[in-house]
Structure 1
Amino acid sequence: MHRLFWKIFLSFWLTLIIFAALLMFAASSYLEHIRTQQDIGSMRARLSAYFDQGQAVAKQGGMAGLREWLDRLDHREAIPIFLINEAGKDLLEREIPAAIIARLDRRREHAERGERRRLPHHQPIRLPDGSSYRMLPDFQSITLLRILQRPRVIALPVAVAALVSALICLLLSRYLTFPLERLRRATQHIAAGDLTQRVVPSMGNRRDEIADLAGAFDKMAERLEKVFGAQRQLLSDASHELRSPLARLQVALELARQRSHGQVETELDRIELEIERLNELIGQLLELSRLEAGVDAAHVDQVDIQDLLEGLIEDAQFEAGSRGCQVKLQKAFPAMATANAVLLHSAIENVVRNAIKYTKRDTAVEISMLEYAEDPDRITIQVRDHGPGAPEEMLPYLFEPFVRVEEARDRLSGGHGLGLAIAERAIRLYGGEIMARNEPDEGLSIYIRLERART
């Protein structure tokens, strides 16, 4: 249990341990180096060298040059070195420790007694203006903080530690996010209707909570594929099986017409109307089943959207005229899309016919092609009616099979709730999108977005 938790915990813990260990190693190594250098001969040689450098800088650059030299020395040297004038003030105006003041007093006492100074750096550094500074190192002020603050000391260890920890974190992040990214892509494919996605094969020998999640995801996808496959197969088989009795009904209807001699014509007309509706419903079910199975996905052409809309409007005008309305192409421009021309024509036609059913008399169904500067790779087709619209909460469900917004309205229109579902499947088959939106001044707009053909 919690295998992933322990992987994350131990990885971060190990990274922090490595980072701290490198810093401690660097600091301890430098401290050891300092202690090695602090034997009497080595330390005297270094201080004598610093004295000579300071004396030379004082002669050439004066007070300003000496201050600049001492500042550079303080930034790279772990041992604080003070230059103190006759008034007891440091050249860099630092606070002077009591031990340094006591040592300076002892030197003055020796000088007053006339004792000879055997070490060169015990002599004062003299400036051209006659002032002088005595050099005093403060061995007691060597601290870990001071060492860590010296850039030349700490830069390389910090860089190495940061690179090592970054590499560990990068590997850990990759280890954690790769399967999650794979799951995200698979989920998007499932949402788009591709139920064949599986992620366990991409996990390799992984054994943790993410691998368990991938296994559960694959079982879910497999179950969904079986359920939806059985549903599509049932729709397809039932639709095919219903065609034969419908054909026989139509034959029987014609025989009944001949034998009735017009006595029950009204009833027979009603039967014929219901047979036609049932035949249309079966045809729509077959088309929906074919779209769900992706049968027409491979048959694609370069479709001119403007030509398609102009041809569609000529056909739609006949149905619109019988309902007392019109169909108008408000705006169009040449644009190509990659799709099955017949299928795309049928999808847009279903949307237009749906708009014709619900728009008010003496109004027009308006079709427009839109393009946006922020999305130049897509074409948008707007189909707007001037009907009652749809409840806002129902808009996301308009493209589901057999969805009815209002029972009375749907019965009046004679619809089965499949036209928009067929259009949505056909548009989605070629990477497009379809959505519905109520207009502020009444009416419903359906927006169809298609990918432009790549030239």
Structure 2
Amino acid sequence: MGRLFWKFFFFIAIAQVTAILGVGVMVSIENMERNRSSSEIDLSPPASFMIRSAAATLQFGGAEALRGLINEGRQRRQQLYAIDEDNKDLMGRPVSAKLVEEARQLLRNEKRRHAVEQVKLADGRSYVLFIPNPNEDGPPEGHSGTPRLRGAADNPEDRGMRPPGGGRPEDRGWMFPVLPMAASLFASVVFAFLLAWYFSYPIRSLKNAFAQAASGKLDIQLEQVMSKRSDELADLGRDFDSMTAQLRILMESQRRLLHDVSHELRSPIARLQVAIGLARVQPPEKLDATLVRIERESVRMDKLVGELLTLSRLEASVTGSMEENISMQLMLGDMINDARFEAEANGKHVEGVADCPVAIKGNPELLYRAVENVVRNAIKHTAPDTTVQIHTQVDYINSLLHLSVLDRGPGVPEDELKMIFELFFRSSRTKTNSDGHGLGLSIARRIVEAHHGYINAANRLDGGLRVDITLPFHISDLAPSHATGSDV
């Protein structure tokens, strides 16, 4: 068991033991105070009612009537005493002097006088009427056949015959509830142990899981360990599983990236080595063609390295300033002119008019490169003597700019549409005749997402591919009432 378990156990047990001791002391003090303030004379309302009835009987019926009432009460185990001036009971029963003294003191106490009555008869005799509390241990029979009263046995022999713990409260002293406190202490320790185990067990599992993850074992799952829990620790376990799953994906992606990069670099490097070897053995008149081949391969390698650096910046979220206002109308106008010039040099065409007076906040260099990658990809794959169309549509209600690039190329198989934006992916329809590296659309997707937009692709019904880019914008030059959208 680890340190955390003992910390939980120690502090929970200390708190519970302290609470038990505090409650025990309070109960003991309360019992002691109750014993000190207890009376040996019955102060209850029924006793007060009986005392008043007996006083009326004595006053109006005389001593004989009261004797009859006392005899009737004795049969019902109700003890009523009538003490004269000589401290003798009307019925001749023994009574302790302390009990009589307490009764006379109650006569002088206005708050408790209701439990004692003093009746003076016509012949001058005076009686004090009261009912003593019955003995806690039950009313054992005295030698006169009457129930013995608390305080009636004052001699040491009678007190010695009482069981331990019996007798008057003042004779018991300090009463501490040892047995209840021991039972509570045992229960507290057991539950403190269970509670500490309940909290420390999943934390130990998390500790072991983190240790395995640090050593490279990312296939561990805490869902099975914490499946029966529904608290924050179970949520932490599920978050750990999500983290390890994401780490596995990232590590697999990094391994695949290294493999693809090495594969893409191996081909131009091999061609460069072949070209250099040919340059050494070829006659001078063929050297220019070899140098052109070397230059072309070096340009391809430079382009690949540049794309990898851009991709690395995007993956690391190092995109530079993203707070510039980019005029999409100016940027798309320049891009369409450049794309038209490049397409016409290859026997293809580009149509489009930038009519989108909106501004997008972001990085102009990155955003230009994203859209340019999509447009140049369309020009590369569209069939000769066909047209690449660029459409813009402004949604002023939702503050969105929709940009579509359509070509007349071979398109992409439906099962590959979601994969064309992955790293180093090239469609099976264009892989054989393409000199790209499969990074252009992947970089475009990351740049668009960095600008809080999204990009997707779909095949056209009449042939070709359609790539749609949606970006949030800020209105710059044109009010919404002047244009609700444009499709050029």
TM class, shorter-length: 0.3 to 0.5
Higher helix share: 1
What TM-score results when the alignment is normalised by the length of structure 2? 0.44
Q: What is the TM-score with the length of structure 1 in the denominator? A: 0.47
